Amino acid sequence: MKIKVCKWKTCTDRFSWYISTRLENDKIRLKLENIEVEDCLCLWQCKMWPNIVVDWNVQNYMNPAKASEAVLNKKWWKKKKKKNNKNNKNNKNNK
């Protein structure tokens, strides 16, 4: 999963650097090896700053806690979706 954090002036003034730090710390603390945290340039949504991108979905009005929650919810949703797909395949094979 790729996470991009806007590092343009407006977002940086609103602590986007701290969001990056928090996400990197979450990655280490929770052993989330498949997550990449990157900086990016302006996402052109400056009125709704700070912004991050989680798997090509722009998330606005972020703070460090909301950013962590968005990433963890996305990771949980992916796991659940994979589990449901396996169950659906098993059910089709049993019919």
Domain boundaries defined on the chain: 2-94
| pLDDT tens-digit series, residues 34-51 | 888 888 888 888 888 888
Mind giving me the DSSP string for 25-84? HHHHHTT-TT-EEEEE---S-GGG-S-EEETTEEE-S--HHHHHHHHHHHHHHHHHHHHH
Share of the chain above pLDDT 70, in %: 77
CATH architecture of 2-94: 3-Layer(aba) Sandwich (3.40)
Q: Which residues contact 24 (CB under 8 A, 6 or more apart)?
A: 37
Predicted confidence at residue 71, as pLDDT, reads: 81
Q: What secondary structure letter does DSSP report for 2?
A: E
pLDDT higher than threshold 70 for residue 22: yes
C-alpha–C-alpha distance, residues 37 and 70, integer Å: 13
Q: What is the largest CA-CA distance in the chain?
A: 58
